[in-house]
Amino acid sequence: MESAILFGNSKKDLQLLIALAEKLGIKAKILSKEELEDYHLGKAIEAGETKTYVDTTSFLELL
């Protein structure tokens, strides 16, 4: 399965793209505010992930 996320300033244009996608047999939907926040949170977590071990005690001492 392939996916695409489109961002636009015009709700009318996005609705046109969704209508075209559905006409072509592609599932499409407009994300709610909460779904969009979850998407961005996931991207931020991925960007900050280092794959290295962080000692909890040392980390908390830095705070």
Q: Where are the domains of the chain?
A: 11-62
In 1-63, alpha helices (H): 11-23, 33-48, 56-62
Task: Report the Cα–Cα distance between both ends of the chain, in Å, rounded.
Answer: 42
Q: What is the predicted pLDDT for the residue at 22?
A: 94
| DSSP-assigned letter for residue 25 | T
Q: What is the predicted pLDDT for the residue at 48?
A: 85
What does the block give as tokens for 5? 């996320």
Q: What is the predicted pLDDT for the residue at 29?
A: 87
Q: Express each pLDDT in 15-60 by its tens digit.
A: 999 999 999 999 998 889 999 999 999 999 988 888 888 888 988 9
Closest among 41, 29, 32, 35 to 4, alpha carbons compared: 29
Taking the C-alpha atoms of residue 7 and residue 27, their distance in angstroms, rounded to an integer, is 17
Q: What is the predicted pLDDT for the residue at 23?
A: 96
Q: What is the predicted pLDDT for the residue at 50?
A: 84
Q: What is the predicted pLDDT for the residue at 51?
A: 82
